[in-house]
């Protein structure tokens, strides 16, 4: 097991090591995305009716991974809650899928990892963890005051099939795209419906989700080298070279859907939609681009090798499990491991040889939703 990074390693290269879990590495870029949401979280806290949290305030971080990226935001949120009702007990409900690395999460939350813990600054704060997917109700009815989620709800509840010639719905067309769109729309409504049940009347959600913005930009595609096209091209090369089979190439499909702002907001503004009927209303919606920290660093230091070395682990954290699962299980574990290493190694070499335009800029929808009191 790797050692956690030193606290002093604060450059973009520093990634959060939390051991074992598929999604347990959080990038500094994801933290920038969360930090940018803090004013929305603070406004949401200010808007919750005070009478609803006389006995206690519940804040949730859904799809929290190892919680390292949201520690500062949660600490600031607790301070804001206490500025309204000093000493009110605060429950911080961390939820993720069952296979998430919850040991890493607790290590971070309790300050035993590489980060400072907000628990040292506030008494009567109760962090709890739940391995309940956001496709289920994770909290008791009408118990949640502010629900937060970042960079998580693009993961679909299931893969609605494979995509011909690409790895992601951003490169899908025709029937492939239709299948992903239908699943994405249904899943978003399912997420909202469970959150509607959990929220107290007057409670709010701050949801920061990957999206396709009005200019057609999305994660890793903001005008430079398209990251998802690069994944697809590399797997095609592996196929052409006979290193993977046709079936394997097809199954390198990521079970994700990126909504547009219009798709995100539709269930909240249409009175016929279930979410609207359940009391959810749109308060705020905007899209933002957060620069890839590794590409930004490269603009300063100009060292292509260093950029490639720092950049690859970030993209690997969130797609390696899908790609590894796409390989035929009849291959030995070693063989599958070699193919995966070669895949990311080829990507890294490509970035090092010609770094211009590579990077993973984040493109998010920042949504604030209230449940009417
Ligand atoms: C890229 S990480 C984001 C982590 C953190 N919120 C951040 O912004 O840095 C995506 C997280 O979503 C979680 N996730 C994916 N599907 C989920 C589901 N159905 N329910 C809950 N969490 C899920 C993953 O396990 C992972 O921890």
Q: Ligand 1: distance of its center to the CA of 87 in Å?
A: 30
Sequence-separated contacts (24+) of 195-198 with Cβ below 8 Å: 195/134, 195/144, 195/147, 195/280, 195/369, 196/275, 196/278, 196/279, 196/280, 196/371, 197/137, 197/141, 197/142, 197/278, 198/60, 198/137, 198/138, 198/139, 198/140, 198/141, 198/142, 198/143, 198/144, 198/147
C-alpha 336 to ligand 1 mean position (Å): 25
Beta carbons of 365 and 41 less than 8 angstroms apart: no
For residues 134 and 185, what is the distance between their CA atoms, to the nearest angstrom? 15
- Kindly report the average pLDDT of the chain as a whole number: 92
Residue pLDDT, tens place only, 228-287: 999 999 999 999 999 999 999 999 999 999 999 999 999 999 999 999 999 999 999 999
Q: Tokens for 177, please give them.
A: 């795209």
Q: How far apart are CA 202 and CA 177, in angstroms?
A: 36
CB 45 within 8 A of CB 146: yes
Are 266 and 344 contacting, i.e. CB atoms less than 8 angstroms apart? no
CA dihedral 238, 13, 36, 188 (to 10 degrees): 30
Ligand 1 center–CA 96 separation, angstroms:
6
Residues within a 6 A CB radius of ligand 1: 23, 26, 30, 34, 63-65, 69, 96-97, 100, 133-135, 150-152, 155, 318
Please name the residue whose Cα sits nearest to atom 17 of ligand 1.
97
Cβ atoms of 228 and 220 closer than 8 Å: yes
The residue contributing the CA closest to ligand 1 atom 18 is 133
Q: Which helix (H) or strand (E) holds 224?
A: none
Å from CA of 104 to ligand 1 middle? 14
Q: How far is the CA of 134 from the centre of ligand 1 (A)?
A: 9
Summarize pLDDT for 52-95 with one digit per residue, the tens.
Answer: 999 999 999 999 999 999 999 999 999 999 999 999 999 999 99
* Amino acid 8: pLDDT: 35
Short-list 344, 167, 343, CA closest to 253 = 167
Range 258-279 burial, b when 16+ CB lie within 10 A, else e? bbbbebbbbbbeeeebebbebe
* Residue nearest ligand 1's atom 27 by CA: 65
Nearest atom in ligand 1 to 30's CA: 9
- How many residues comprise the chain? 373
Confidence of residue 22 (pLDDT cuts 50, 70, 90): very low
Best CA proximity match to 129, nearest among 113, 110, 145, 112: 110
Evaluate if residue 11 carries a pLDDT over 80. no
pLDDT of residue 3: 42
The residue whose C-alpha atom lies closest to atom 8 belonging to ligand 1 is 150
Residue owning the nearest CA to atom 14 of ligand 1:
63
Mutate to test the pocket of ligand 1, among 97, 100, 208, 316 (most ligand atoms within 8 A of CB): 97
Q: Is 23 within 8 Å of 316 (Cβ atoms)?
A: no
User: Which residue of 65, 321, 322 sits with most ligand 1 atoms within 8 Å of its CB, as the best mutation to test the pocket?
Assistant: 65
- The mean pLDDT value for 31-41 works out to 97
Task: Give dist(CA 346, CA 350) in Å, integer.
Answer: 6
Strands 199-212 and 144-150: parallel
Q: How far apart are the first and last CA of the chain?
A: 49
Q: Tell me the CA–centroid distance for residue 324 and ligand 1, in Å.
A: 18
Atom of ligand 1 nearest to the CA of 133: 20
Are 365 and 285 spatial neighbours (Cβ–Cβ below 8 Å)? Answer: yes
Lookup: tokens for 202: 């007057």
In this structure, which residue's CA is closest to atom 5 in ligand 1? 64
Residues 136, 195: contact at Cβ < 8 Å? no
**DSSP string for 25-79:** -B-HHHHHHHHTTHHHHHHHHHHS-GGGGSS-EEEEEET-TTSGGGHHHHHHHHH
Based on C-alpha coordinates, what's the Rg of the chain? 21
Read off the pTM: 0.92
The pLDDT tens digits for 83-113 are 999 999 999 999 999 989 999 999 999 998 8
Q: Atom 20, ligand 1: which residue's CA is nearest?
A: 133
Q: Give the model confidence (pLDDT) of 150-192 as tens digits.
A: 999 999 999 999 999 999 999 999 999 999 999 999 999 999 9
């Amino acid at each position: 097991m790797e050692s956690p990074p030193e606290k002093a390693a604060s450059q973009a290269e520093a990634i959060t090591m939390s051991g074992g879990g598929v999604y347990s590495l959080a990038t500094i870029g994801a933290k920038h995305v969360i930090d940018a949401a803090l004013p929305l979280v603070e406004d949401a806290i200010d808007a919750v009716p005070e009478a609803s949290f006389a006995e206690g305030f519940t804040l949730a971080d859904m799809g929290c991974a190892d919680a390292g990226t949201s520690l500062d935001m949660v600490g600031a949120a607790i301070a804001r809650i206490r500025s309204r009702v000093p000493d009110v007990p605060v429950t911080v409900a961390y939820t993720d899928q069952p296979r998430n690395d919850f040991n890493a999460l607790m290590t971070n939350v309790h300050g035993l990892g590489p980060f400072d813990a907000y628990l040292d600054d506030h008494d009567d704060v109760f962090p709890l963890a739940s391995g309940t997917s956001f496709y289920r109700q994770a909290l008791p009815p009408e118990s949640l005051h502010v629900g937060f989620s970042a960079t998580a709800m693009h993961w679909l509840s299931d893969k609605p099939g494979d995509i011909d010639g690409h790895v992601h719905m951003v490169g899908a067309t025709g029937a492939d795209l239709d299948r992903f769109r239908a699943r994405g729309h249904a899943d978003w409504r399912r997420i909202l419906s469970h959150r509607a049940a959990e929220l107290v009347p007057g409670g709010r959600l701050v949801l920061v989700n990957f999206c396709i913005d009005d200019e057609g930009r999305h994660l890793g595609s903001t005008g430079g080298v398209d990251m998802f096209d690069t994944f697809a091209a590399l797997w095609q090369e592996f196929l052409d070279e006979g290193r993977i089979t046709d079936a394997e190439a097809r199954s390198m499909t990521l079970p994700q859907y990126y909504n547009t702002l219009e798709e995100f907001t539709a269930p909240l503004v249409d009175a016929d939609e279930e979410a609207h009927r359940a009391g959810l209303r749109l308060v705020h919606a905007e899209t933002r681009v957060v620069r890839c920290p590794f590409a930004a660093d490269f603009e300063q230091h100009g060292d292509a090798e260093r950029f490639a070395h720092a950049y690859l682990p970030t993209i690997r954290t969130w797609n390696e499990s899908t790609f590894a699962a796409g390989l035929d299980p009849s291959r030995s574990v070693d063989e599958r491991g070699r193919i995966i290493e070669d895949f990311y190694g080829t990507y890294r070499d490509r970035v090092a040889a010609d770094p211009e335009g590579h990077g993973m800029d984040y493109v998010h929808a920042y949504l604030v939703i209230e449940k009417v009191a």
